[in-house]
Structure 1
């Protein structure tokens, strides 16, 4: 009689456990679907509110994580596990894990600082954390960049914020800095005229601020000129490369030389010293 009661109890509890397990699984699947739906709606709402794309991605990631935690707790409670006790255990374990993962917490704090101070945004080309590239995404702990050769680099937020950040896209205009060397025999006025013509003939060069073309130094093997036009940030590299090529082409047409480093060696002949070895040989 006692054995039959135990069998009946196990069967009853087993059936209840299976039902609760199936319900928990359903809660998790439906909850995950609902989280994705709400996450997408929240992203669209923030985009309609014209929030910064960096802020949209960061807040969207945090919102998704919080909603998934709620869904997991709901599914666990359906199985019969007391969530209050579980939360207390997780809190105690979280303190220990937090001490062990101070770097991750620092990366999270750095991510918050990125959102507050906004040293860069999605699409900016920056140099930070030892990496140069275009900002693709800012996660809770990391920042994703795409290098010019199409590599994906993931950098911890703490590393991004730990040093200097050079943002090449923060301003609409940039100055192209070119240094050109010519020979000492080339006329100054001719060189100036050619350089001014190259700058004036490029429609991408801005009128304001005015371009700066000056002779900057008399080096060992050449006279150095600086050519500094202002252009839109998007045109920087095209102007840099094409203007360098055009300067070389016009220098060739005008007969202006572009010297390379060289050294003149002068050999002096002293007849008295040249005769000394011969006299010494005769004495022997």
Structure 2
């Protein structure tokens, strides 16, 4: 037992002596690595500073800065390892990096995929910071484009983090990609109103509002003969195309058109209506397409008068009451 303790104590002393011998190298390696980390940060800031005045090179500067910082830190790590372990050669480091890279690639495949997608997004610029985008069920303003994910702020004050691989491989709507944006809205008017006059009134409203651009010009189009109304679509352009401007323009346009059509000119803005036809299937003419009340018969002279809902309900109650009386009478007998 004493021999085992002495052997253990001897090995511990040798390890401590080896650590003390390597301590200056370890301290020097830490200093060198810290210097390279600071150099990488300085290079990143320098690249971003040089490209900050160029709108289309801003994202490119961000990518180059991050890559330069990562490369500088990696070189500092190699130099620090060679200081701590003098026998470690550059070829061994490259071989170790290759094996580690394969292992890391399998372990962090999704992270690397998002990283590459983030670099491609920064280089191709499908959208930029402060753009307003729509992605699947999310809509908001782009706050930051990182190499792993893109961060957007929704209009109700929430933060959404979207992986870059999702953004790069799926459709994204950029609402602020261009200077102008077109809005549209459907309005239903009565069948008895003059369509051309109604369209003229709508166009007057659009041309009188400051939020509506005159070039491109707005337009008014008849879109559909619906069940209860004639659907007329108004389309107009706004600038700038941001969400708040779109909501403000929509509010002013719809309010002004309602005032102009309904209040000032008495044009009908009907709500949906439903016509119900009742058919008594106990009639002798049931199944006769020329006489039945269901649908439209071939000969209008044979059409029976339609009945109201209340009358139909009362008739049903009377029939049900007579039926119950007949059943009770049979049971009594």
**TM bracket, shorter-chain basis:** 0.7 to 0.9
Matches of 1:27 and 1:279, distance apart in 2: 104
Tell me the equivalent position of 2:72: 67
- Could you state the TM-score of these two structures normalised by the residue count of structure 2? 0.70
Larger relative contact order (Cα-Cα within 8 Å, sequence gap ≥ 6) = 1
* Higher alpha-carbon deviation: 181-190 or 58-67: 181-190
CA contact (8 A) 1:204 1:239 kept: yes
> Within 5 Å, which residues of 2 pair with 1:124-135?
124-128=131-135, 131-135=138-142
1:121 aligns with 2:131: no
Matches of 1:13 and 1:102, distance apart in 2: 39
Structure 2, gaps ≥5 residues long = 1-10, 279-305, 308-314
Tell me the equivalent position of 1:238: 248
Alpha carbons of structure 1 residues 55 and 135: separation in structure 2 relative to 1, 3 Å = farther
CA RMSD of aligned residues (A): 3.4
Measured against aligned partners, the alpha-carbon deviations of 1:123-149 in whole angstroms (never above 9, x if no partner) come to 222223653332333222322222222
Structure 1, gaps ≥5 residues long = 1-5
Match of 2:260 among 250, 254, 261: 250
- 2:217 match: secondary structure: coil
Matches of 1:112 and 1:39, distance apart in 2: 15
Alpha carbons of structure 1 residues 192 and 9: separation in structure 2 relative to 1, 3 Å = closer
Matches of 1:58 and 1:239, distance apart in 2: 38
* Higher alpha-carbon deviation: 30-39 or 101-110: 101-110
How far does residue 177 in structure 1 lie from its aligned partner after superposition?
0.8
Matches of 1:83 and 1:145, distance apart in 2: 46
Matches of 1:181 and 1:257, distance apart in 2: 9
Matches of 1:193 and 1:7, distance apart in 2: 97
Tell me the equivalent position of 1:43: 48
